[in-house]
Amino acid sequence: MSVTLKIAPCLWFDDQAEAAATMYTTIFPNSRITRVTRYSEAGHEIHGQRTGTVMTVAFELDGQPFTALNGGPVFTFNEAISFQVYCDTQEEVDYYWQRLGAGGDEQAQQCGWLKDKFGVSWQVVPQALLAMISDPDAEKVTRVTNAMLQMKKLETAVLQRAFDGD
């Protein structure tokens, strides 16, 4: 299998790579698992994994390639890296927020950010917000930013009212 893109994220899991890839591919449209590799005896003294267990899962989320690696508990996810999901409607925001956040860390939810049950951070962002915070009117931008800072899940109607000065 050849890869045409130059950059694709690799997510390091303890032992949940396949479960995470399966969950993500059921949430996003046009998504699929493309390959699963397994640990062999080769390198056992370094990786310490049982022969036959899942090593990597290659998958696509709406055409974007990812790799999930079962690398053991050496590293964990943090908020320094997150994946942005741009949504055209509030229904899309609600859909992704509910599904990605199910079983995740509710304390990590703020300003459209959430952490899923695997510890991966996501930003569920209405496209309308991007236009609002790019507006040349500083007062509008300030109002919408202040409204956003009070939210966990972003609500487009509330942001629009703040933007409009209502």
Q: Are residues 97 and 159 in the same domain?
A: yes
Question: Looking at the domain assignment, is residue 138 inside a domain?
Answer: yes
Query: Within this chain, do residues 59 and 99 fall inside the same structural domain, yes or no?
Result: no
Per residue in 63-116, pLDDT (tens digit) is: 999 999 999 999 999 999 999 999 999 999 999 999 999 999 998 899 999 999
46 and 86 within one domain? no
Residue 102's domain spans which residues? 82-164
CA distance readout (Å), 108 to 20, 104, 111, 113: 19, 8, 10, 7
Could you tell me if 87 and 160 lie in one domain?
A: yes
In a domain, 3, yes or no: no
Q: Are residues 156 and 87 part of one domain?
A: yes
Phi and psi angles of residue 48, each rounded to the nearest 5 degrees, phi first: 65, 10
Q: What is the rounded CA–CA span in Å between residue 104 and residue 116?
A: 4
Do 63 and 96 share a domain, yes or no? no
Separation between Cα atoms, residue 68 and residue 61, nearest integer Å: 12
- Does 1 have pLDDT greater than 70? no
pLDDT by residue (tens digit) across 129-159? 999 999 999 999 999 999 999 999 999 999 9
